[in-house]
Amino acid sequence: MSEVQITSVLLDKTSKLYSLIDSTLQRFIKLTGAQRGFLILVNDKGEFEIKISRNFDNKDELLESVNFSKSILNKLVTEKTPILTHNASDDSNIDLSNSILSMSLKSIICVPLIVKDNLIGAIYLENNEISGQFTNKHLESLEDFAYRASISIKAKLAAYSC
């Protein structure tokens, strides 16, 4: 059974939202070889909130000190399509922002979480040591998984709001 299939089973069986988010992010990092990743959800005000952040050894990062490229997230929001860049600092499809330059961002995958054409969040993964860390195969697997994760996360959020 592949990592994506195993994680999909976990999505169906996990009843607590925090556990769902945590296991999802850990599996994404393991699957891709990311250094760190964030699961970002849209809150009630329509703003993005990092719900959990992890680094490669599954340690939490302090949410107050998390730094990532907001321009990548803004591009994802505008286009509602996944973003894969092998070297963000040298990618003509990415607008060079201060964060991309100052953090010397390299490999990034940012995949939307969409339910019925509504963007409910995103999964953002990066590796700032290796250019080209993420492949099209990673992207395809993450897109497939993000579709399944979106439905589960939306259902769990709906259950909490009742």
Q: What is the pLDDT of residue 46?
A: 84
Q: Among candidates 120, 94, 119, which has minimal Cα distance to 107?
A: 94
Q: Which residues of the chain are modeled with pLDDT < 70?
A: 1-18, 58-66, 92, 94-102, 160-162
Q: What is the pLDDT of residue 41?
A: 87
Neighbours of 100 (CB within 10 A): 23
Task: Report, in this order, helix, strand and coil percent for the chain, each rounded to 5.
Answer: 45, 25, 30
User: What is the pLDDT at residue 13?
Assistant: 57
Alpha helix stretches (DSSP H) within the chain: 3-13, 17-32, 70-79, 98-102, 136-161
Instruction: For residues 47 and 34, give the distance between their C-alpha atoms in angstroms, rounded to a whole number.
Output: 25
pLDDT recorded at residue 84? 92
For residue 144, which phi and psi values (nearest 5 degrees)?
Answer: -60, -45
CA distances from 89 to 19, 27, 42 (A): 34, 27, 27
Q: Which CATH superfamily is 3-161 part of?
A: GAF domain (3.30.450.40)
78-121 pLDDT per residue, tens: 888 999 988 877 776 766 666 666 677 888 899 999 998 889 99
Of 83, 135, 71, 88, nearest in space to 111 by CA: 83
Model pTM greater than 0.85? no
